[in-house]
Homo-oligomer: A and B are copies of this chain.
Amino acid sequence: MTDIARASSLLTIDVDAVVANWRRVANLIAPAEAAAVVKADCYGLGVAQIAPVLSAAGCRSFFVATLDEGIQLRRILPGGVIYVLGGPVGGGEADFAAHGLIPVLNSLAQITGWATFAKAGSAAPAAALHLDTGMNRLGLEEAELERLAARPDVLASVRPILVMSHLACADDDTSPKNMEQLATFRRLSGQLPAMPRSLSASGGIFLGRDFRFDMARPGAALYGLNPIPGRPNPMAQVVRLQGKILQVRDVDSPMTVGYGASHRVVRRGKIATVAVGYADGWFRSLGNRGHGVIGGFKVPLVGRVSMDLTTFDVTDVPAPLIHPGALIDLIGPDITVDEVAAEAGTIGYEVLTALGRRHHRRWLTRTTEGKPA
């Protein structure tokens, strides 16, 4: 039997759609550079499969979160420009240098640590500086920046090639915080020597030309999430998740379904049990709220999501479509990641990064072989 026939669930990742999304962003913001944020395993979709195709399409700069991710990506992209957002912590500068990783330096302590390391004669790569403009999460505070600006020797040792910041409310184009952060970024970056600047990720790109500077750092938009919530999604959908029906059962009132007997059957009908559960990243918060789609029919998720199983009310679907072995779309042409996220009470980013390891994965591309896991 084939791998697909054996699978309990199938996750199909359209790598060409990722590339199309990157090209759309790159064209939109040119002449600014479009980098690619590939942290968290490309938001759960497979950095080993996606990053090389983005690179082949012309993407030059890549952002990851941690040193581990940087080392992994260096193996995948021997020639790529790789930024590591967390920077070195508790030592680690030598690891950055050994793998040619550009640290994003988030504090005066990281900057002076890097300067000391660079001055010690190692062939340290260049670095990026991260200014906090209102997230209060990572990045140089204004007082630290003033102290840094007074130390041209430190700056010279660090050799910064990019100064960046990050928007807190870019998904809400009515938030006054966006213009505040833009003004702060201009003011603070003006205290540094001239160098390329970057402020925006996916959302910021669509806030307008002023937010694009010399480089933007799209992530979510590449993977098909809507960067402009409330308006039609300009990005191509990347993900399809299909769960296999294990069993179809006849139910009738007054039966209950699942843990906690949380769903009460009110009419004669059919329940399909699908081999996907919260251990697959199909959130438990979807219980009695989510839905799937089969043959164009929307099927409500009833009862609680359990670890390995989810139950759907398929009463209104023509019987020939519903049988053990048939596939229900959990994410697909008729149900987007953003919709699933709304039903789960979260955002599409978390739906993607939670996608589990038990799904049989296939990556679709015209430019490379699709490789099932």
Contact = CB atoms under 8 A, between A and B. Distances in A.
A89 interface: yes
A95 B303 CA distance: 31
A81 interface: no
B258 A350 contact: no
A307 B69 CA distance: 14
A261 B177 contact: yes
A6 interface: yes
Nearest to A64: B308
Interface in A86-141: 86-87, 89-92, 94-95, 106-107, 109, 132, 134-138, 141
B135 A257 contact: yes
Interface string A231-271: 00000000000001011011100011111110001000001
A352 B135 CA distance: 29
Contact of A246 (B8, B89, B257): B89
Contacts of A107: 247, 324
- Say what secondary structure dominates the interface of chain A: loop
A294 to B, nearest CB: 16
B85 A137 contact: no
A260 B168 contact: yes
A354 B353 contact: no
Given A85-B308, A258-B168, A353 B278 contact: yes
Interface string A328-366: 000000000000000001110110011001100000000
Contacts of A256: 134, 136, 168, 177
A13 interface: no
A169 interface: yes
B136 A311 contact: yes
A184 to B, nearest CB: 12
Q: How many copies does the complex hold?
A: 2
A275 interface: yes
A261 B358 CA distance: 36
Q: Please indicate which of the listed interface residues A132, A246, A260, A347 has the most CB atoms of chain B within 10 Å of its own CB.
A: A246
A291 interface: no
Contacts of A271: 136
A109 B169 contact: no
A177 B209 CA distance: 61
A308 B251 CA distance: 44
Contact of A1 (B8, B92, B249, B278): B92
Nearest to A8: B66
B168 A349 contact: no
Interface stretch (A14-22, A51-59, A189-197, A279-287): A279-287
Interface of A: 1, 5-8, 39-41, 43-44, 65-69, 85-87, 89-92, 94-95, 106-107, 109, 132, 134-138, 141, 168-169, 172, 175, 177, 244, 246-247, 249-251, 255-261, 265, 271, 273, 275, 278-279, 281, 283-285, 303, 306-309, 311, 324-325, 345-347, 349-350, 353-354, 357-358
